[in-house]
Amino acid sequence: MKKYLYICLAILLGGMWLISCSDDETYAEKKEKERKAINSFLERDVCILGEEGDTICNIGKIKVITEQQFYAQDTLTNLEENEYVLFGSTGIYMQIVRKGPGEKLVSGQSKRIICRFIEFNILGDSLQLRNDVNYWHSNPDILDAENNSGTITASFNTDYNGGGAMYMIYKNTSVPTGWITPLSYINLGRQTTPEERIAKVRLILPHSAGQTDATTNVYPCFYEITYQEMRD
């Protein structure tokens, strides 16, 4: 178990080294580098591989749609066209792979959500972190989410086994803004039949919507995340 954690830390540090900038590089220049990396990622037909060379996620070339088209499509993204909606105000790209069973998180409601994910450093071009492996099976990332008059907030739960991968690696209970965005569009429930599968999304997050290390070092990440309501 410790070996896997060391591997995660090594990958993270390696990614940070790859994207490290000189002292003379301005924030504007870092943002421009990030923007170019995201634009390239949209066109690259990326396939994310695991340590054993196995395919973890085949992303493909991405078709970007507007928020207007997204809402006209009943907040769905066409998987055959590999559509991602771009939220202009945040720079977040989102693909809803599955809306999932259950109901949306409504105003006045709070839920505890189990998330399993992969995190790919776009600028560093490397798989940076994942919790969909045996090491984290009994200790997933758990979000405590609440909808307050239409505004959804969330934090990583650390009471359950001391927190999951995101907290253990980044040492922060703040949930990336980009992780919260899908909660306005997906359902939160549990799988009750073989055909019914929990909500799943894919995200491209600029540093401003990402985890603390991405925010500090100005790099974008790709995520594939499942959301499942936790039993009481």
Q: Say how many Å lie between the first and final Cα of the chain, rounded.
A: 28
For the cut 50, the answer to whether the pLDDT of residue 92 exceeds it is yes
Residue 24 structural domain:
2-229
**Residue 195: per-residue pLDDT:** 79
Q: How many residues does the chain have?
A: 232
What are the pLDDT digits (tens) for 19-33? 554 557 899 999 999
CATH code, domain carrying 158: 3.10.50.40
What are the pLDDT digits (tens) for 98-127? 999 999 999 999 999 999 999 999 999 999
Spatial separation of the C-alpha atoms in residues 96 and 105, rounded to whole Å = 16
Q: In the chain, how many domains are there?
A: 1
What are the pLDDT digits (tens) for 23-59? 578 999 999 999 999 999 999 999 999 888 899 999 9
Q: How far is CA 190 from CA 115, 164, 199, 230, in A?
A: 12, 20, 9, 8
The answer to whether the beta carbons of residues 99 and 187 sit under 8 Å apart is: yes
Nearest-CA neighbor of 61 among 89, 87, 34, 83?
83
pLDDT, mean of residues 214-221:
97
